[in-house]
Structure formats: structure tokens, C-alpha cells
Amino acid sequence: MNYDWRWSVFLQPTLGGAMNYAELLLRGAGITVVTAVLAWLIALSLGTLIGVLRTVPVRSLNAIARSYVEIFRNIPLLLQLFLWYFVLPELLPESAGNWLKALPHGSFYVAFIGLGFYTASRVAEQIRSGIQSLPKGQTNAGLALGMSLPQVYRHVLVPRAYVTMLPTLTSEGLAIMKNTSVALTIGLAELTAQARAMQEYSFHVFEAFSAATVMYFALNVVIVQFARLIERRTAHLA
Amino acid sequence: MNAKALTVLVLGATSLVASAQGLSGTMAKVAETKVITIGYRESGIPLSYVDDKQQPVGYAIDLCMQVAEAVKKELKMPTVEIKFASVNGSTRIPLIANGTVDLECGTTTNNVERQKQVAFSTTTFIAAARFASKRVDKLSDVDDLKGKTVTANAGSNNLELANKLNTSRNLGLNILPSKDFAEGFLMLETGRANALVLDDILLAGVVANSKDPSKYVISSQALSAEPYAIMMRRDDPAFKKVVDDSLKHIYASGAAAKLYAKWFQAPIPPRGITLNLPPSKALQQVWKTPIDSADPAAYTVE
């Protein structure tokens, strides 16, 4: 292997000279984290809503929620981001489309919204199975105590579903962090994109991707630790 | 004798042959393995790309085929097989470094930073970064771009160039990175960007292949000079000499000018489009006096 390994390359300035490669990657990691966090907020809130709608005793709402899940879960994420970014503005009235195209940081908005909608469909399925795994008696007991059905969901079913499904929700949290890298296809300068940029400018491809790997790993270790903490705190509820 | 011992013996014998000829580096490797591998790009029209039969073709590929033949001649081994391997922006360095690819014949710019990692042959082509825009927008030089949205390949020299021009000339550009130049062109086509900054030869290819090429103009103003070269493993002067000598011969004999006409001034596969680009003064200068400089100033781009 004829390769010039040099870890000090991270301290070298990039072509533009404004910052060094370590800074370039850290900025990418920052964008990755912000995108993942915002996407997760959408995924968890929208996913919970859709998951609940899949279990309520109203046929039409079940059908709507089910369609949402099937559409967003069955189209590849890459394609979804591409559709949001390139196709949606062409379908809107021209003025709205042009406004959307001229929006600064457009790829960032598309990335976290698109990723959030996609992950919401997966979270919804987990919430649904979490709710359905609870004994029927829980709902009946709640109703017998004089709660309305929304109250039963709010105080009994959803909290218990969260606790039951915590391990799989953690996996979704890990997946969302890694899935942000798909957004490089719509030009978001996140961690993987910056690692690619670094190898293009410096030709130190192994150093660039090693650093990106370590950063993804570190970010996900933080998520796992955080999830463990929640698991411990909520263990008495399960 | 078991098979393993036999392999060791055979390998030992062939390396003896190689070292007996006083070979080292890539020349020794080719002599031993009887294979030389050319790395090609999928979409570097017309330098290095795949045609409708999925065969690597192009100006750089033709040059490399002749270089590979020169290597065979130098080794006096006519049975050496020429193989192809697809490379992209991320894989070209590892594949050169680990010995999968011996000659990378694509659209790689020779620059000083990269020379720490790989070696470059004599310059094979000189591109210049320019920008394409819609004809109706009437954008002819960099100053017309003030306040406009510009796109370039994420992580490319062109993107850095756009950033630099933006600060040095105070243009107030909105710079959008795109994944590759097909997507960059899509941004221009759909109006998400007003201009696409790219090496002119690639721009010519993308525009020529678009739905309506007459709708776009490529700036006459050049923003930089990008010397392309064949990429090889570094610290292998013997191999570089063979490559450079054969390129020199191709340039001096006029074969390069003929190949140039074939790829740049005549219909090319897959769609029979003619790029109609006469050789630049800078390239003609290189044909006369071949150089391998990474300094853009060494190439006088008009």
C-alpha cells in the first residue's frame, strides 16, 4: 500500500484557507446533529399522532394513518428527499415554487422535514404495536374510571407504549443520525459531505473517512447512553 | 509438494525475472502479474466515460491505451493484459494506493496538494473553470453574478473557487453545493440556481446533452486553469518516465492532435453529438513542449 498517512492533515488549512480540515468536519458534524435533532422532534410527535390514529376505533382515521405509513415507509428516503427538493417546487404555482427555490438554506429545511416525515412512519408503527401490546383491560379500566378516550390515550396508553417501545425507539434515534448523510444528495454540507470534500481537496481519503466514522460513533454512543438513562428512570413504570 | 509451496516458488521465480531485469515499482508489478489496469470515470465526457455498450471510451482512455502499449513494449512482454476498473472521486486514491489501478485516466486536476499523495504524468488536457447560465439571463462575466445563486459540485475545486471569488470580489453570492454535475445542471435547468460553475470541458458535455442546448451559454471568461493528467503511484520515477516518454512521443508524432479531433471535433458516442471545441492555445503549447507543472500560471489560458 503506497499511501501517505498523515494525521496532521487535519490541522492544515482547506483550499479557501478560511479554516482547517478539523474545523470543516466539526462544522459538518454540527449540521448533522442539528438536522437529526429537528428531524427527531418531527418524527416523534408526528409518529405518535399517526400511531395513535392507527389504533383509535374510527375507520376513516385508521385508513388515513395507514396510508401515511405505507407511503412514507415504502418510498426510499433518497427518493423522498429528491422529490421534496426538486419536484415539489415544480408542482406548486409558479410564484410559490420560485419562492421555495430562492429560500436560503433550502436543502437544510428539506433535509430535516423530509427525514422527519420518513422516520415518523417508522415511529408510528412502533407506537401502534406498543399500544396494541397493552392488555385491553387498561383502556376499559380508564374508561370505567370516567376518563374520556383521549384522556385514556394521553394518561395511560401513550406513556406506557413509550416505555415498552423504548429500545426500538432508541434504534430509530441511532438510525436518524446516520440517515442524515442521505441529505448530501441535495447538497447539505453535513458530516459525510464534508469528509468527501476533505478527500477531494487533500486526497487524504482514509484520514477523512476515519474521522467521520469516529464522529458518527461518538454521537451514537451519546444517544445510547441517553436512552439508557431514560430506561433506568422509567423502569418502574414498565 | 503442496500447492502453497508451489505458489511461493512460482512467485519467487517471477519476481526473480523482474528483479533480474532491474525493474521496480509498477513496472515490476506489471511484469509479475502480466496485467496493467486503467482506471476510468463513468461520466467524464469526452475524456473518460462509458458508451452505450458500457465500454470505457474517451480522449484520456485512448491516450492511456497507447501508454499501456508503450509499457508492454518497454517490458518486451506483448502478452500483458490491459484491464479496466471504474473509479470515482472517492475511490481513485485508495485504488491507486493499494495497487488495484495503475493508471487513472479521468478528469483529475494536477495540484500541489495532491502531489503529496500521488504522482501525475505530463499534462494531458487543460480545462478552465467557467460558468453556464441561461441565455435569457444575459450573464456574461463574474460581475454579472452579483447577488445571484450559483451552484457547483460539493467538495470540488470549483466550489472553493466560487467561495474565493465571492469574498475577493464581494459578490454577495448565494452558493449552493450540488451532489454532482448532473444535479448541478438540474438546479440550473429548474431555476434553483442562476449559474453552474464547472470545468469547461465537462460543462460543454452537460450542455450538449441537455434537452435544449441553445438555451444555455458558457461564459467566455475563464475563472481558473485546471491541468488534467494521468494519475499514478508516487515515488515511482521509472514508471513515470515510461508514461511521460510515451506521451511525449504521442504529442510529437501528431497522434494526439488526431485523437483530439476524434473526441472534440467529431460526433462521439453514445448520441453522436459533436462538441466542436478546437484545441486551446495552452494545449497546443503542451504538445510542443510537454510539461507536468501543477501551477495554473504555467498554462497560458486566453
Please check whether residues B118 and B237 belong to one and the same domain.
yes
Please check whether residues B14 and B156 belong to one and the same domain.
no
Whether the predicted interface score ipTM is above 0.90? no
Q: At residue B189, does pLDDT exceed 60?
A: yes
Please check whether residues B90 and B234 belong to one and the same domain.
yes
The reported pLDDT for the residue numbered B2 is: 56
Which domain-ending residue is among B194, B218, B242?
B218
Q: What are the start-end ranges of the H helices in chain A?
A: 21-55, 59-74, 77-82, 88-91, 94-102, 106-132, 136-144, 149-152, 158-179, 191-202, 205-234
Please check whether residues B286 and B154 belong to one and the same domain.
no
The reported pLDDT for the residue numbered B1 is: 47
The reported pLDDT for the residue numbered A203 is: 87
Q: Cβ contact (<8 Å) for B160 and A16?
A: yes
In Å, what is the CA distance from B232 to each residue of B36, B85, B98, B215?
A: 12, 14, 11, 40
Cβ–Cβ contact B116 with A under 8 A: yes
Cβ–Cβ contact A70 with B under 8 A: no
Which domain-ending residue is among B187, B218, B249?
B218
Please check whether residues B211 and B237 belong to one and the same domain.
no
| Residue B146, C-alpha cell as written in the block | 452579483
**pLDDT for B193-226, tens place per residue?**
999 999 999 898 889 888 899 999 999 988 988 9
Distance from CA of B98 to the nearest CA of A (A): 5
The reported pLDDT for the residue numbered B164 is: 87
The reported pLDDT for the residue numbered B18 is: 53
In Å, what is the CA distance from B234 to each residue of A225, B104, B120, B237, B239?
A: 45, 13, 8, 8, 10
Which domain-ending residue is among B218, B252, B267?
B218
How far is residue B5's CA from residue B7's CA, in Å, rounded to a whole number?
Answer: 5
pTM score, two decimals?
Answer: 0.82
Q: The CATH number of A7-237 is which of 1.10.3720.10, 2.130.10.10, 3.40.50.300, 1.20.1090.10? A: 1.10.3720.10
**pLDDT for B65-111, tens place per residue?**
999 999 999 999 999 999 999 998 888 988 999 999 999 999 999 98
- Per-residue DSSP letters for B37-85? EEEE-SEETTTEEE-TTS-EESHHHHHHHHHHHHHHHHHT-TTPEEEEE
- The amino acid that residue B290 corresponds to is P
**pLDDT for A56-101, tens place per residue?**
999 999 999 999 999 999 999 999 999 999 999 999 999 999 898 8
Identify from B29, B117, B157, B233 which residue to disrupt to test chain A contact, counting A C-beta atoms within 10 A and taking the largest count: B117
pLDDT band at A16 (very low <50, low <70, confident <90, very high): low
List, as own/partner pairs, every contact residues A206-215 make where C-beta atoms lie below 8 angstroms and the sequence separation is at least 24, other chains included: A206/A3, A206/A5, A206/B94, A207/A5, A207/A6, A207/A7, A207/A9, A207/A10, A208/A21, A208/A25, A211/A10, A211/A22, A211/A25, A212/A25, A212/A28, A215/A25, A215/A29, A215/A191
| Residue A206, C-alpha cell as written in the block | 482514509
Mean pLDDT of B49-65: 95
How far is residue B108's CA from residue B148's CA, in Å, rounded to a whole number?
Answer: 29
The average confidence (pLDDT) of chain A is: 93
| Domain total of chain B | 2
Q: Cβ contact (<8 Å) for B97 and A3?
A: yes
**pLDDT for B175-186, tens place per residue?**
888 888 888 999
B110 interaction partners in chain A (CB closer than 8 Å): none
A202 interaction partners in chain B (CB closer than 8 Å): 113-114, 117
Mean pLDDT of B140-163: 89
Please check whether residues B49 and B146 belong to one and the same domain.
no
Contacts with B, A 196-235, CB within 8 Å: 196-206
| CATH code, domain carrying B12 | 3.40.190.10
Q: Can you give the residue range of the structural domain that contains B136?
A: 129-218
A16-25, A128-137, B132-141, B186-195: least confident range: A16-25
Q: At residue B13, does pLDDT exceed 80?
A: no
How far is residue B132's CA from residue B195's CA, in Å, rounded to a whole number?
Answer: 6
Please check whether residues B192 and B278 belong to one and the same domain.
no
Please check whether residues B85 and B8 belong to one and the same domain.
yes
Please check whether residues B33 and B113 belong to one and the same domain.
yes
B93 interaction partners in chain A (CB closer than 8 Å): 3, 199, 203, 205
Please check whether residues B44 and B183 belong to one and the same domain.
no
Closest Cα to residue B125, out of B286, B295, B1? B286
Distance from CA of A16 to the nearest CA of B (A): 6
Q: At residue B275, does pLDDT exceed 70?
A: yes
Please check whether residues B108 and B10 belong to one and the same domain.
yes
Q: At residue B302, does pLDDT exceed 60?
A: no
